[in-house]
Amino acid sequence: MKTYNVAILGSTGAVGQEMIKVLEERNFPVKELRPLASQRSVGKKILFKGKEIDVQLACPEAFVGMDIVLSAVDNQWAKEFAPAIIKAGAVMIDNSSAFRMAEDVPLVVPEINPEDAALHKGIIANPNCSTIIALTAVNALNKISPIKKMIVSTYQAVSGAGVAGIQELNQQVMALGHGKPAEVNTFPYQIAYNLIPQIGDFNEFGYTSEEMKMQNEGRKIMHLPDLRVNCTCVRVPIMRSHSISIALECEAPISVEQAKAVIAEAKGCVLKDDPTNRVYPMPLDTSDQDLVFVGRIREDIASDHGGLSLWCCGDQVRKGAATNAVQIAEILIK
């Protein structure tokens, strides 16, 4: 079997660490794993397949000899290192939003548009975590009848903000439990026992950058240039796994029974829909695994065009980021 040299850019962050874990779990044919990070993390040890590997400095020379670079850094770093990665002859699979809407960069969810990966010119973008989870849930419906409109509300776990988000929720719960004030650093307000209806900055129409990703990225991934999405993104005091409420309308009505049948067979999905017995997707059940759970499928009684409503949950650190990136790498080596 052919093996590949793989670099992890941002290897000590939450997504970078998960990428390493997923590579091992899926038995990706790694010849050399090269963990890269900033100067402050150089020399730290990364465990991969029972061996400790030193974290190296992320610099242009670090990509020489690499075949694939899984990038888990912010936009600034992604843009800074992309030219060096391409010059080294590697393919960059980038988890930031830096290149997602660039015309010459494929934006890929392997269950939906794997063929787009072949169009890359050195960079393939990983979509936003909520976009991946939501579109994986509805893709089977879109295949039956193209989706025209989606009204979406996301309930996003604190781990979407990285390790700092997890630490802040933990620390606030501990502090409040001991009668102390909650310290606020990562989020704009206390997140413990609270909801924050803002993720990203607001635009002139009152929508946040996170909310607009669902429409803009959805159009590109599903090849639906006229898709309309009204999205509200909310940070919730959940450690892991995003939950999403979706009401959608397709060009032709789809019955509840048909929707359940096709979602049950859809790649990357698990149907959890038996409300009589209280069976429906929840964050605790979907954490630390790679499938999107879909349930609460029902007729949208506010729709004049035979719309559907559903509820889905998925692990945004894995399927929403790390696993999706590794799945793209698997497409490349095939």
Residue 313 annotated in active site: no
Instruction: Order the strands of the 242-250 sheet from edge to edge.
Output: 228-235, 147-156, 242-250, 308-314, 292-299, 269-271
Active site residue 129: yes
State the burial class of residue 308 (Cβ atoms within 10 Å of its Cβ: 0-12, 13-18, 19+): buried
Catalytic annotation, pick one of 129, 231, 250, 313: 129
Distance CA 332, CA 309 (A): 35
Residue ranges for the known binding site for NADP(+) are: 12-15, 40-41, 159-160, 181, 316
Burial 139-174 (b: 16+ CB within 10 A, else e): bbbbeeeebbbbbbbbbbbbbbbeeebbebbebbee
Do 43 and 107 contact (CB within 8 A), yes or no? no
| Residue 263 neighbours by CB under 8 Å, 6+ apart | 137, 140, 141, 269, 271, 294, 297
Q: Which of 120, 242, 269, 313 is catalytic?
A: 242
Binding positions for substrate are 156, 235
Residues 15/326, Cβ–Cβ less than 8 Å: no
Structure-block tokens of residue 265 = 């067979």
User: Which residues make up each annotated binding site?
Assistant: 12-15, 40-41, 100, 156, 159-160, 181, 235, 316
Q: DSSP letters of 231-289?
A: EEEEE-S-SS-EEEEEEEEESS---HHHHHHHHHTSTTEEE--BGGGTB---HHHHTTS
> Annotated active-site positions, please?
129, 242
